[in-house]
Structure 1
Amino acid sequence: MNQNPTWKYLLLVAVCVIGMVYALPNLYPSNPALQISLTNTDQRFVGTEIETITKSLNDAGIDIKKVENKDNKLMVHFADTDAQFAAVDPVKASLGDQYAVALNLAPTTPSWLSGAGAKPMYLGLDLRGGVHFLMEVDMEAALNKGVERYKEEIRGYLVDEKLKYLGVIREADDSLTIKFKDQAALDAASKKLTRQYQNQLSIEQVDATKGASLRAAITEDNLSNIKKLALQQNITTLRNRVNEIGVAEPIIQQQGLERIVVQLPGVQDPSEAKKILGATATLEFRMVDEENNAFDAQANKRTPIGSVLYEERGGSPILLKRQVMLTGDFITDASATFDQNNQPAVSITLDGKGARMFERATGANVQKLMGVVFIESKTDVSRDADGNIVKKTVNKQEVINVARIQEQLSSNFQITGLDSPKEAHDLALLLRAGALAAPVYIVEERTVGPSLGADNIEAGFNSVIYGLIAVLIFMLIYYRVFGIVANLALSLNLILIVAVLSLLQATLTLPGIAGIVLTVGMAVDANVLIYERIKEEIRAGMSPQNAIHSGYEKAFSTITDANITTFIAAIVLYGMGTGPIKGFAITLAIGILSSMFTAIFGTRVIVNMIYGNRRVEKLNIG
């Protein structure tokens, strides 16, 4: 009775070894570092960058530990955060705008551990320091964009289907009124439009006394879908932009139906991040109206039919055709570069559809002037005297480039006329990352300093250690030999939690540490139930061997029920919670599963190894 088969020993030893290997990287502190990457991801480092970086930092009197190249990214290690922050400007100045410089933490894991795929856990914003943004999506703008899109689609569809109509008008309630010459034209269009926009638009005939007209309104289901897609596209775009500026381990996730949480660990100056995250930028390519005088149109405040009046960067007016040749939606890649005159430029790559459209448009207009319109929209948020949020959207449209089309253009070309390499870099970043589906504005902003993060790490670490020591002492005094077994299982449980979190590359936050501390206290519950059951069986006159067997067998169902209910609560917290709540739920769930293994299987193997297969007169269980 109470004997272990060989496979149980092997399994326990294997779990212990694997757990220790993957938990070990967390014992090696990370170095403050600068992460340097190329803004054009298709390029590679030329080999002279390390010398340039080292020289610039030596000239600035900043000591560095080492510089290494990992996955086409340079990591410059420093002894402390003061040197890390001081190094940002010299490095940026020495390398130029072709490189992105970001604050990071560089792991110091030994090569034999990293070779086995063992990595430390990521540290959250509250432990590492950085900036936190709560951003709200302007759903009114998303709806407005959807209505305008349907307006243009309906016009194009009616033309393609050769259905005659008088006009498509947007009403104050965001519905569309489609006017026809007579009832016959309306009936023909109604059937096709209803079939084309089924489940998207509700199409019905308006009062006949108002003429032959159809009313098209976005359905409730489609309206919800538009808002959902706008939120999802904005999350994707924001994640692309954060990746472009080189922030390591960012957290970008949905909160509620209209808000997005953006956490950027290691970033201490939020101004640059705010500029990139909140900008809605795109391009439009239009032909120049060379038949009419832009100065006359500006002076008379009368724009010719089919044209739009813009301003160039110098303030000069310019007339462009109303029809758009191409928009930035078809851009797949953009990188900052220099033209043949060594002036800043952006190299553009189009997708297949965009390339075909641009080929047709430019091929038909060789030797004519084309203008590039830069469109940027930002939403500023302030509060009035009553504390209410006031949103102000600022739209900026300017012609950044006018050039004569010398030949038919296709999928690759350059945009020139930019003021500086910095502007070229930012424009390329925004175009490469994609446009926001709707403007976003920041409703909450917090900055956590690195020193506070270090204090949080120390406080969290101490709470785990003190809690663990208190439980170990109690179990040792109260249950003696069996207490030692429970303490071994508890220590293994803590190692397994850290190992699993490291394997999953989870982000550890203060609530996550709280989950670990809670698990440390709860993990011995199973052993307390088992040991108290063993003591009851001994008091009832059962032999030590039978008491051990009965204690583990009869307490199992109670332990399972208690842990399953807690595990269900953790799942609900993860599914319905956000950010910190999810971190707490993950560590709690992992702790429950690992404690079930260590407290039931692990302690049983050790107890059987101590007391099994021999005559025992008395158990040293307190």
Structure 2
Amino acid sequence: MIFIPLWQRLLVALATVAAILLALPNMFYGRVEVANDARASIAQGLTSPELEADAGLWPSWLPSGLINLGLDLRGGAHLLAEVQVSDVYASRMDSLWPVIRDALAADRDTVGFVTREDGPPSELHVRISKPEGAARALEIVRGLARPVASLSGGGSSDIEVRAQNDLLIVNLSEAERAATDDRTVQQALEIVRRRIDEVGTREPTILRQGADRILVQVPGVGSAQEVKDIIGTTAQLTFQPVVQRTSNKDADPGAGNILVPSVDEPGVYYILDRAAVVTGEDLTDAQPTFDQNGRPAVSFRFDPQGARAFGEYTGAHIGEPFAIVLDNEVISAPVIQSAIPGGSGIITGQFTPEESTDLAVLLRAGALPAELTFLEERTIGPELGADSIQAGKNAAYAAAVMVVLFMIASYGVFGAIACVALAINIVMIFASLSLLGATLTLPGIAGIVLTMGQAVDANVLIYERMREELRRGASPVKAVQEGFDKAFSAILDANVTTFIIAAIMFFVGTGTVRGFAVTLAMGVVTTMITGVYVSRVLIALWFARTRPKTIVV
């Protein structure tokens, strides 16, 4: 009799039952997906007879976790975008201008009057009226420089300043540009992720590629254009002082100003101070709402810094117009009636309810720090995904049939037991994928097929050790025990090395390589469980039932 402690038998039984229950929802994928979506909508406060009916498509007492299907299995959109990091340089120069202007104005006796001149977007050109004060002006502006906030830029200043007679030219240093580029791409990556997450898309893949590119893969959407509509909108909100209102679209705004069209008033343009008082980056929340006339609007709230700047400006400019600018268009230019110290307000305009909701989503996610240029876009139809799934199934079925035939032909009853353990192994892999919410790709299916060969390889090692013990004259029970004990170290070594390779592929690789690595790593873990422990319990049960005097392996 093969002795296995009762707790080990119970643990194997519980693990097997749990794996079957966790993997079961994937057998009814469409039904469970509809039920999960309906329950999520009900949890958000929505209710209707249709939602209640959909929620009842799958019993609530059963697990409902599903394997997320990757882009190649479900269909969807693939986009590769390049972040135009140079756009940020111009924004930095615009934000520096008020600081430099005020610093130089404090020493007007030496440098004279200060004006901003036109120049390249990445440079700030400042002219002083007293050329003899250029040295003092250089000293003042250089005193505004700050250390570069990066490990590679330690000891460097963020700006460089040079003088050409009465003209000061300010630009970002090389170290600051490198640090800015890195921050810009990281910020764009996070904002793209938040925007896609806001609309509830399942398991998108959003990765940085190279120095300034972002890869976006979103399963389940109808076209790449849908994703571009979500992430391509800049939603850049600013609050800027109004200098003048005009109907001349070719009007010269003057140095330090910009000409911006009005959305609600065709043919009307506003000349605005280029330096914004506050921007969308100072927002902490934005929600769709309605104004006092019942028209769709968007309410907003600033962080403490933005609220302070907003309150100070509105308090000092009562009676003056103040433009709310969205994506370089004036959507509203109300006259300031009183100070607004609370840091909250409302954006009105010609919005539909859907547009106000979309705008609130974009503002909450934040403005993209720079424009995205889409270098590559592909839409993978669901039919192609279905073909990929069927091809993966066919490969898995063929592999399973070949493995079963080989194991039974080579090891008889013990081969059949190994095949039962293999089936439990595959169920455990699907259960693990469901439990962890991992994404299954076509290479992931290849990893599962490869696991089939690895799993029975463990049993082959065990059975060959059993044959050696039988040749030496060992009893059937002794042969089984020695086979498991002596083969364990070889099985462990083989699976540990495979797991290390899978880990390297996951952390170093991208996209499809990681999908393969995930299922391969899970297969290694489940193979150790089923190949050693489940197989041993099954053989012990067979021994207890048949009590053979001899065995043939």
Pairwise TM-score range, normalised by the shorter structure: 0.7 to 0.9
State whether structure 2 residue 88 is matched by structure 1 residue 137. no
2:76·2:379 contact (CA, 8 Å) conserved in 1? Answer: yes
Aligned match of 2:278: 326
Aligned match of 1:379: none
Aligned match of 1:86: none
1:97-132 CA-to-partner distances (Å, cap 9, x unmatched) read xxxxxxxxx895421113xxx412122222222222
SS of aligned partner of 1:264 = strand
Distance 1:38 1:338 in 2: 26
Measured after TM superposition, the shift of residue 591 of structure 1 is: 0.2
Aligned match of 1:281: 235
1:198-236 CA-to-partner distances (Å, cap 9, x unmatched) read 83744799899979989875354x544333322222222
Distance 2:44 2:22 in 1: 34
Aligned match of 1:400: 331
State whether structure 2 residue 63 is matched by structure 1 residue 111. no
Measured after TM superposition, the shift of residue 435 of structure 1 is: 0.7
Change in CA separation of 1:440 and 1:37 when aligned onto 2, cut-off 3 Å: farther
Aligned match of 1:412: 344
Distance 1:401 1:172 in 2: 30
1:203·1:214 contact (CA, 8 Å) conserved in 2? Answer: no
Distance 1:241 1:212 in 2: 43
2:243·2:272 contact (CA, 8 Å) conserved in 1? Answer: yes
Aligned match of 1:505: 437
1:138·1:438 contact (CA, 8 Å) conserved in 2? Answer: yes
Distance 1:374 1:204 in 2: 29
Superposed CA RMSD in Å reads 4.0
1:201·1:217 contact (CA, 8 Å) conserved in 2? Answer: no
Distance 2:202 2:550 in 1: 58
* Greater fraction strand: 1
Distance 2:107 2:498 in 1: 64
Aligned match of 1:87: none
Amino acid at match of 1:319: I
Aligned match of 1:250: 204
Distance 1:174 1:522 in 2: 58
SS of aligned partner of 2:375 = strand
State whether structure 2 residue 223 is matched by structure 1 residue 259. no
Measured after TM superposition, the shift of residue 516 of structure 1 is: 0.9
Q: How does 1:202-601 map to 2 (within 5 A)?
A: 202=157, 217-220=172-175, 222-289=176-243, 294=246, 301-303=251-253, 307-313=257-263, 314-375=266-327, 397-409=328-340, 410-418=342-350, 420-601=352-533
Q: How does 1:67-106 map to 2 (within 5 A)?
A: 67-68=51-52
Amino acid at match of 2:446: A
Distance 1:208 1:412 in 2: 43
SS of aligned partner of 2:285 = strand
Measured after TM superposition, the shift of residue 44 of structure 1 is: 4.5
Measured after TM superposition, the shift of residue 4 of structure 1 is: 1.4
Distance 1:148 1:369 in 2: 21
Distance 1:224 1:465 in 2: 52
The alignment covers a number of residue pairs equal to 538
Aligned match of 2:551: 619
Measured after TM superposition, the shift of residue 413 of structure 1 is: 1.8
SS of aligned partner of 1:113 = coil
Aligned match of 1:18: 18
Aligned match of 2:6: 6
Distance 2:249 2:185 in 1: 39
Change in CA separation of 1:575 and 1:184 when aligned onto 2, cut-off 3 Å: same
Amino acid at match of 1:6: L
Distance 1:506 1:144 in 2: 41
Change in CA separation of 1:417 and 1:582 when aligned onto 2, cut-off 3 Å: same
Q: TM-score, normalised by structure 2?
A: 0.84
1:330-353 CA-to-partner distances (Å, cap 9, x unmatched) read 122223333233333222222222
Question: Quick one: which of 155, 158, 161 aligns to 2:100?
Answer: 155
Measured after TM superposition, the shift of residue 571 of structure 1 is: 0.8
2:145·2:159 contact (CA, 8 Å) conserved in 1? Answer: no
Q: How does 1:7-86 map to 2 (within 5 A)?
A: 7-31=7-31, 44-45=45-46, 50=48, 66-68=50-52
Change in CA separation of 1:205 and 1:279 when aligned onto 2, cut-off 3 Å: closer
Amino acid at match of 1:436: L
SS of aligned partner of 2:293 = coil
Measured after TM superposition, the shift of residue 403 of structure 1 is: 1.6
Change in CA separation of 1:324 and 1:527 when aligned onto 2, cut-off 3 Å: same
Measured after TM superposition, the shift of residue 285 of structure 1 is: 1.6
SS of aligned partner of 2:481 = helix
Distance 2:425 2:479 in 1: 25
Distance 2:331 2:72 in 1: 42
State whether structure 2 residue 154 is matched by structure 1 residue 199. yes
1:202·1:219 contact (CA, 8 Å) conserved in 2? Answer: no
SS of aligned partner of 1:288 = strand
2:116·2:255 contact (CA, 8 Å) conserved in 1? Answer: no
Aligned match of 1:125: 71
Alignment identity in percent? 38
Q: Which runs of 5+ in 1 are unaligned?
A: 52-65, 69-75, 78-105, 376-396
Q: Which runs of 5+ in 2 are unaligned?
A: none
Amino acid at match of 1:402: A
Distance 1:36 1:412 in 2: 35
Measured after TM superposition, the shift of residue 567 of structure 1 is: 1.2
Change in CA separation of 1:153 and 1:202 when aligned onto 2, cut-off 3 Å: farther
Amino acid at match of 2:360: A
1:476-498 CA-to-partner distances (Å, cap 9, x unmatched) read 22101211221121111111111
Distance 1:227 1:107 in 2: 50
1:341-395 CA-to-partner distances (Å, cap 9, x unmatched) read 33332222222222222111112222322222222xxxxxxxxxxxxxxxxxxxx
2:147·2:156 contact (CA, 8 Å) conserved in 1? Answer: no
Q: TM-score, normalised by structure 1?
A: 0.75
1:348·1:413 contact (CA, 8 Å) conserved in 2? Answer: yes
